[in-house]
Amino acid sequence: MSKIRVLIADDHAIVREGLRTLLQAQTDIEVVGEAINGEDAVSKAKETQPDIVLMDITMPGMNGLEATQHIKRSNPVVKVLALTMHEGDEYFFKILEAGASGYFIKGGYSSELVSALRSVYQGDVFIYPSMTKKLLSDYLQRVKVGHDTESYDGLTGREREVLKLIAEGYTSQEIADRLTLSVATVQTHRAHIMAKLSLRSPAELIKYAIRRGFITLDT
């Protein structure tokens, strides 16, 4: 079984060392390199071809946001999990719109980070739970409901079920288990949903779910 290849990008040596020790202890994860800033992350991503870049956002020189944009343009297959101290929305939507597949707060537990990496590797979007209420409260004040009814009506009943579960934060494996489907079928439904709703990124999927009311302040 192939391992999840991870590139660690953080400007603090002690953080990189801790992350490497944590991840190398996992039987299904391999650390393929370390980067000390954004420019280094872009270069190392080309060199090592990781599955996931664990990307600190605030680094000197080229920051994680810019590095994510460069990496995704160069190789869209590479996934990025943002790693940050910021719990506000200053960077949240920007990093997702740049192509990241998740947003993890550095104050989280090590077991949560490992789970987040596995989730992103499977093609899911990971959002650190403590951010949800704050982000949605702010966003709900700015959206207008109902302008996308026609697109939503084009989804099948099963696609609506899958969309709701995605919005509630379930992984592809968890959705497959709940709906008695294969993971491949769930991922196919996800692709059809994105195409039918003209959604191009995880950030757009999250915003759509908020407008449709699939995510609420109690989620």
- Tell me the pTM: 0.69
Considering the domain architecture, whether residues 99 and 206 belong to the same structural domain is answered as no
CA 127 – CA 116 distance, rounded (Å) = 9
Q: Is residue 139 situated within a structural domain?
A: no
Considering the domain architecture, whether residues 12 and 51 belong to the same structural domain is answered as yes
Give strand ranges (E) for the chain: 4-9, 29-35, 52-56, 79-84, 102-105, 126-127
CA 94 – CA 91 distance, rounded (Å) = 5
Question: Averaged over 1-19, what is the pLDDT?
Answer: 94
Q: Which of 61, 18, 71, 12 is nearest to 41 (CA)?
A: 71
Considering the domain architecture, whether residues 116 and 176 belong to the same structural domain is answered as no
Considering the domain architecture, whether residues 117 and 198 belong to the same structural domain is answered as no
* pLDDT interval class at 164 (50, 70, 90): confident
Question: What SS3 class is residue 107?
Answer: coil
- Is pLDDT at 141 greater than 70 in this prediction? no
Q: Is residue 199 situated within a structural domain?
A: yes
Give the residue from 131, 162, 181 where a domain finishes. Answer: 131
Boundaries of domain holding 91: 4-131
* pLDDT interval class at 215 (50, 70, 90): low
* pLDDT interval class at 118 (50, 70, 90): very high
The answer to whether 179 and 186 have CB atoms below 8 angstroms apart is yes
